[in-house]
Structure 1
Amino acid sequence: MPTILITGASRGIGRRLAELYSAGGWEVISACRNPAGCDPVGEPLALDVGDAGSIAAAAKALSGRSIDVLWNNAGIYIDKGQALKDLRAEDWLESFRINTIAPIMLCRALLENVAASGLRKLAFTTSKMGSVALNSGGAYEYRSSKAALNMAVSSLAQELAPRGIRTVVLHPGWVRTDMGGAGADIDTTQSAAGMKSVVDGLAAGQTGQFFNYDGKELPW
């Protein structure tokens, strides 16, 4: 039975991913800050992705255990709708800490768990708002933190390819969640199912690409 660890699994896209993988017979590790309060799918894991001590504790708890897919899904969007004049440096730094730095630090901590697995995949929920080519302006903090994540994962892909570890960044679409809002285009099922199909379908040696949830490759 393959194993997946999903961050931000308490609600929204992360929870739906957990439900779909669990229904498919996978062993699911649902990571959230307070498992007791989130009714996790599968096995709960207490993890605050922005806290180095929490990452270290999670890595210790999972020591020696293989993880076929590590899905970095947790993220924040602090500056939604904010104008340039309203931006705060501390919020911008927090966006980078959670959206950019935390996923790479977690990958580093659990790298050997993934390397020991049969599938060896790293998935990252990003956003097409992090695409320089598709930039329509605004959302300085969120866009730049996701663009930086994309670049970091591109570097990660090159470094880990010789070990047979595949990476992919995925735009989930505009999804009806707390972050996306009620007026978004698609629901969590369509988003999660589409991204799952992309990750499940990654061929041997296929790594370092940026996909839409429907499988269309996006420009960086």
Structure 2
Amino acid sequence: MPGTILITGCNRGLGLELTRQFAADGWKVVATCRDLDRAEELKALERQYPRLQVYTLDVTDYRQMAQLAERLGGQPIDILLSNAGYYGPKGTLFGRVDRDEWRKVLEANTIAPYMLAETFCANVAASERKLIAVMSSKVGSIADNSSGGGYIYRTSKTAVNQVVKSLSIDLAERGITVVALHPGWVQTDMGGPNALISAQKSVSGLKKVLLHTSADKSGSFLNYDGSPIPW
């Protein structure tokens, strides 16, 4: 049975495709993005699907996040999907790290997903599925790091994986499952044209993971095909 999903970062890439696929399946989708004026494709989807609601949300603006929670009231949210993120500058090799950019990336990729969970956990707990998912990345895996570099983005994803693990423990008594997801190397603005898979293929896999993840998987780091990824 379709339920309600809240997705952040829906103006393009994975967020837009997630919105499209869940809306097409009859879900009530609460889709957010930072700049709604420039989100033409998302607004077109809103006109196409009556159960799609679009809101402005900068995930690092926690007052705005609280205001959205007030607007939604006690509405149950079956799946809370923290998708919005910021890559930051590329080529962050040793000796070339911009500390101000590092702080911005950590804010968007690590602190904001925690705040999203804190803000909407009561809505998730009131639902049937009770799932919080955070879009992480395999580059955050310490075990998988064999090339070095990438200090800014890597650390933000390693840190959010730890957030996911702690949330899975702290929210277990409310019956909430929490997982970190790796979408694959996807052909988006962030992934670039040389990436291995399309957004459609990634989201098709992610959707299956989101719909079939059970409580015994809480605290896991999962690939878009459902296979586990080492921390």
TM-score by length of 2: 0.92
Corresponding residue for 1:38?
39
Corresponding residue to 2:165 among 144, 154, 179: 154
Listed as ranges, the gaps of 5+ residues in structure 1 are none
Corresponding residue to 2:66 among 56, 62, 76: 56
Runs of 4+ that moved beyond 4 A: none
Listed as ranges, the gaps of 5+ residues in structure 2 are 46-51
- 2-structure distance, mates of 1:34, 1:92: 22
8 Å contact from structure 1 (residues 161, 205) kept in 2: no
CA positional deviation for 1:34: 2.4
8 Å contact from structure 2 (residues 92, 152) kept in 1: no
8 Å contact from structure 1 (residues 168, 199) kept in 2: no
Corresponding residue for 2:48?
none
- 1-structure distance, mates of 2:180, 2:121: 17
Corresponding residue to 2:203 among 188, 192, 197: 192
Percent identity over paired residues: 45
CA positional deviation for 1:79: 3.0
8 Å contact from structure 1 (residues 120, 164) kept in 2: yes
Corresponding residue to 2:94 among 84, 88, 100: 84
TM-score by length of 1: 0.96
Q: How does 1:94-105 map to 2 (within 5 A)?
A: 94-105=104-115
8 Å contact from structure 1 (residues 104, 152) kept in 2: yes
Corresponding residue for 1:143?
154
In structure 1, the residue corresponding to 2:109 is in which secondary structure?
Answer: helix
8 Å contact from structure 1 (residues 79, 140) kept in 2: no
Q: 1:216 to 1:205 in 2, by over 3 A?
A: closer
Alignment of 1:116 onto 2:126: yes
- 1:163-216 deviation line (CA, Å, top 9, x unaligned): 110011111111011000001000101111111111111124431100111111
Q: How many residues align?
A: 220
- 2-structure distance, mates of 1:140, 1:92: 8
Report the aligned-residue RMSD: 1.1
